[in-house]
Amino acid sequence: MSEESRRIRKISAHAGPVPGTGTVREETVAKLIDVTTCIGCRACEIACQEWNDLPFADTVFQNDLQTMPDTAWNVWTLIKMNEVEREDGTLQWLLRKQNCMHCADPGCLAACPAEGAIVQYENGIVDFDHDKCIGCQYCTIGCPFNVPKFNPATKKVFKCSLCSDRVEHGLQPACIKSCPTGCLQFGAKEEMLHVAHKRAEQLREHFGYENAGVYDPPGVGGTGVIYVLHDVTRPEQYGRLPKDPRIPTAVGLWKGPLNWLGSLAIVGGLIGMLAHFFLFGPKPDPSGEEGHGTEKSK
Amino acid sequence: MIRIRWRKLDPEHVSRYTFHERAVHLIVAVTCVYLVLSGLALHTPYLFWMSSVLGGPASMRLFHPVLGLFYFVFLVYMWWMWRRDLRFNRADRGWMQKMEAYITNHDDDLPPIDRWNAGQKIFFWMMMVSGIGLVASGSVLWFPEYVPWNLQWIKFLAIILHAACAFISIGGLMIHLYMGIFLVKGGFRQIITGEVTRCWANHHHRLWFERVTKERADG
Cα separation, B158 vs B162, in Å, equals 6
CA distances from A171 to A53, A164, A174, A185 (A): 17, 9, 9, 12
| pLDDT at A11 (0 to 100) | 79
Task: Name the strands in the sheet holding A225-229, side by side, starting at the edge strand that comes first in the sequence.
Answer: A184-188, A29-34, A225-229, A213-215
Is a pLDDT exceeding 60 seen at residue A2?
A: no
Which residue from B minimizes the CA distance to A263?
B44
Contact (Cβ atoms closer than 8 angstroms) between residue A78 and residue A67? yes
Q: Cα dihedral sign for A79, A81, A82, A88?
A: positive
DSSP code for A103: B
Contact (Cβ atoms closer than 8 angstroms) between residue B167 and residue A262? yes
Residues in chain A closer than 8 A to B185 (CB atoms): 282-285
Lowest mean pLDDT among A17-26, A75-84, A121-130, B87-96: A17-26
Residues in chain A closer than 8 A to B103 (CB atoms): 276, 280
| pLDDT at A25 (0 to 100) | 63
Q: How many residues belong to chain B?
A: 219
Say yes or no for a CB contact (<8 Å) between A135 and B163: no
Mean pLDDT over each residue of chain A, to the nearest integer: 90
Angle between helices B118-142 and B90-97 (to 10 degrees): 100
H or E element that contains A275: helix A257-280
Residues in chain B closer than 8 A to A283 (CB atoms): 105, 107, 183-185
Strands B13-15 vs A225-229: parallel, antiparallel or unpaired: unpaired
Contact (Cβ atoms closer than 8 angstroms) between residue A130 and residue A150? no
Is a pLDDT exceeding 70 seen at residue A4?
A: no
ipTM of the complex model: 0.88
Tens digit of each residue's pLDDT (9 = 90 or more) over A259-289? 999 999 999 999 999 999 999 989 887 765 5
For residue A64, name the pLDDT band (cuts at 50, 70, 90). Answer: confident
Say yes or no for a CB contact (<8 Å) between A263 and B44: yes
Amino acid present at B61: R
Say yes or no for a CB contact (<8 Å) between B144 and A140: yes
H or E element that contains A84: strand A78-85
| pLDDT at A290 (0 to 100) | 47
* CA-derived radius of gyration, chain A: 28
Lowest mean pLDDT among A2-6, A156-160, B1-5, B16-20: A2-6
Tell me how many residue pairs between chain A and chain B have CB atoms under 8 A apart.
136
Residues in chain B closer than 8 A to A296 (CB atoms): 108
Task: Spell out the residues 6+ positions from residue A53 whose beta carbon is closer than 8 angstroms to its own.
Answer: none
Q: Where are the domains of chain B?
A: 15-218
Residue A250's nearest CA partner among A124, A115, A111, A76 is A111
B1 to chain A nearest CA, in Å?
A: 40
The 10 Å Cβ neighbour count of residue A45 is: 23
Cα separation, B62 vs B42, in Å, equals 13
Is a pLDDT exceeding 90 seen at residue A22?
A: no
Say yes or no for a CB contact (<8 Å) between B156 and A251: yes
pLDDT (mean) for A155-160: 96
pLDDT tens digits, chain B, 219 residues: what are they?
A: 889 988 888 888 899 999 999 999 999 999 999 999 999 999 999 999 999 999 999 999 999 999 999 999 999 999 999 999 999 998 899 999 999 999 998 888 899 999 999 999 999 999 999 999 999 999 999 999 999 999 999 999 999 999 999 999 999 999 999 999 999 988 898 999 999 989 889 989 999 999 988 877 765
Amino acid present at B134: L
Strands A149-151 vs A184-188: parallel, antiparallel or unpaired: unpaired
Task: Kindly report the backbone phi and psi dihedral angles of residue A152, in degrees, each rounded to the nearest multiple of 5, phi listed first.
Answer: -65, -25
Tens digit of each residue's pLDDT (9 = 90 or more) over A185-203? 999 999 999 999 999 999 9
Contact (Cβ atoms closer than 8 angstroms) between residue A129 and residue A118? yes
Q: Which long-range contacts (CB under 8 A, 24 or more apart) does B37-43 make?
A: B38/B63, B38/B64, B39/B64, B39/B166, B39/B170, B40/B170, B42/A113, B42/A136, B43/A113, B43/A259, B43/A262, B43/A263, B43/B163, B43/B166
**Based on the number of CB atoms within 10 Å of its own CB, is B148 exposed (0-12), middle (13-18) or buried (19 or more)?**
exposed
Contact (Cβ atoms closer than 8 angstroms) between residue B142 and residue B69? no
Cα separation, A172 vs A188, in Å, equals 11
CATH code, residues B15-218:
1.20.950.20
B152 to chain A nearest CA, in Å?
A: 7
Residues in chain B closer than 8 A to A266 (CB atoms): 167, 170-171, 174
